[in-house]
Amino acid sequence: MEKNIKCPLYKKCGGCQIHNLDYSEQLEFKMKKVVRLLGRFHRVSDIIGMDEPYHYRNKVQAAFGRDRQNRIISGVYQSSTHKIVPVDSCLIEDVKADEIIVTIRKLLKNFKLKTFDDNKMIGFLRHVLVKRGFSSGEIMVVLVTGTEEFKSRRSFVNALLERHPEITTIVQNINNKRTSLVLGEKSIVLYGDGVIKEQLCGYTFTISPKAFYQINPVQTEVLYNKAMEFADIQKDDVVIDAYCGTGTIGIIASKYAGDVYGVELNKDAVKDAKKNAAINGIENIHFINADAGKYMVGLAEQGLPADVVIMDPPRAGSDIKFLHSVVKLSPRKVVYISCNPETLARDLMFLSKNKYKIRKIQPVDMFPHTEHVECVVLLTKI
């Protein structure tokens, strides 16, 4: 193996594209990428890396199937294929989650349960998803099955809990469709309350099987604290948390602000966001289930005020409708959190030509060993 390669599956799996570099070289690589794409807008601050860049993923997913000798295997799909690469332990995944997945594989054999064959569309277990609250210690196991029928369900659940008493909830999710999505529509709670709780920046959040939640909790705090520092919210400010997911950023912002409006397209995420606000006893936050662009256009047309806009769009970035309405609303500050510096560069170009000046660019390493890099950018109105 090459000098830095600690993972025998590095090439086959394809998940950690820059694992062949030392961690300090990885940070340099990411820094260069951000400077290349964003350096023309402003000086880029030094990337914030992790002290311990291993086992940071709080969410682990394994596909189940059989190898050529018909043995049960579990692992990840080889990059851009449908072939399962067997994985028992992974350098970036939570150790406990990996152990639970191996236990489930062994239990399948004991219980004579089948894995799902997605060519023939028959069989039972398709995927296992484990989510772990690093602060709370709570663990959720989701068994994704091709059928609702679950032979010896109760004994299987008991056997799993006996081996891993640290599991706090077990859910069966049924996915009988020909799809690349892991989770299906229907979920049945087999043990516990079907969700886990987690603490972030002093607040409690509920995580359900389907909801988006940042996968690196240590760096998420770093990222959100930077976003709050950049936003520098004043006590009567109206803050918009656009692309708010389950409301994490808006909830953290609420203690500094007058009012916060969170807008999100996914209705389940909005439900979770409302619950999260209630759990934390927050009354000055309001969630809207809508397309962020359309919602902002509405605000701009009504001439409503917004002092600070925090935006955290998916990889595709924002859209022109959204950006036009930001300009029209003309908040004092825009804090842009992005997981894709390419679409970020495109959107910053628009804002920089329309009355906004880029003041700070801070990269944060949320995904060590992978090529991905997150940035938080502060813009102020000229």
Q: Give the residues lining the site for ligand SAH (CB under 6 A).
A: 212, 214, 243-245, 248-249, 263-266, 269, 291-292, 312-314
CB nearer to ligand SAH: give 269 or 358. 269
**Torsional sign, CA 288, 294, 298, 304:** positive
Candidate list 13, 16, 244, 339, residue with the active-site label: 339
CB nearer to ligand SAH: give 87 or 339. 339
CB nearer to ligand SAH: give 145 or 318. 318
The CA-atom distances, in angstroms, between 115 and each of 83, 109, 131 are 14, 10, 21
Q: String of b and e for 361-379 (b: at least 16 CB within 10 Å)?
A: bbbbbbbbbbebbbbbbbb
**What H or E segment, with its residue span, contains residue 334?**
strand 333-338
CB nearer to ligand SAH: give 42 or 294. 294
Q: How many residues does the chain have?
A: 382
User: What is the smallest separation between the CB atom of 192 and ligand SAH, expressed in angstroms?
Assistant: 23
Nearest to 240 by CA among 204, 293, 166: 293
Per DSSP, the three-state class of 202 is coil
Helices (H), 283-337: 292-302, 320-329
Nearest to 357 by CA among 338, 378, 340: 378
User: What is the smallest separation between the CB atom of 225 and ligand SAH, expressed in angstroms?
Assistant: 13
User: What is the smallest separation between the CB atom of 86 and ligand SAH, expressed in angstroms?
Assistant: 31
Cβ(62)–Cβ(101) below 8 Å: yes
CB nearer to ligand SAH: give 237 or 264. 264
CB nearer to ligand SAH: give 91 or 239. 239
| Tokens read off for 158 | 């008991």
User: What is the smallest separation between the CB atom of 292 and ligand SAH, expressed in angstroms?
Assistant: 4
Per DSSP, the three-state class of 134 is coil
- Residue type (1 letter), 8: P
Annotation marks residue 7 as catalytic: no
Nearest to 263 by CA among 304, 225, 223: 304
Cβ(370)–Cβ(18) below 8 Å: yes
Query: Among all residues, whose Cβ is closest to ligand SAH?
Result: 245
User: What is the smallest separation between the CB atom of 290 and ligand SAH, expressed in angstroms?
Assistant: 7
- Residue type (1 letter), 357: K
Helices (H), 47-186: 95-110, 153-163
User: What is the smallest separation between the CB atom of 139 and ligand SAH, expressed in angstroms?
Assistant: 20
Active-site positions read 339
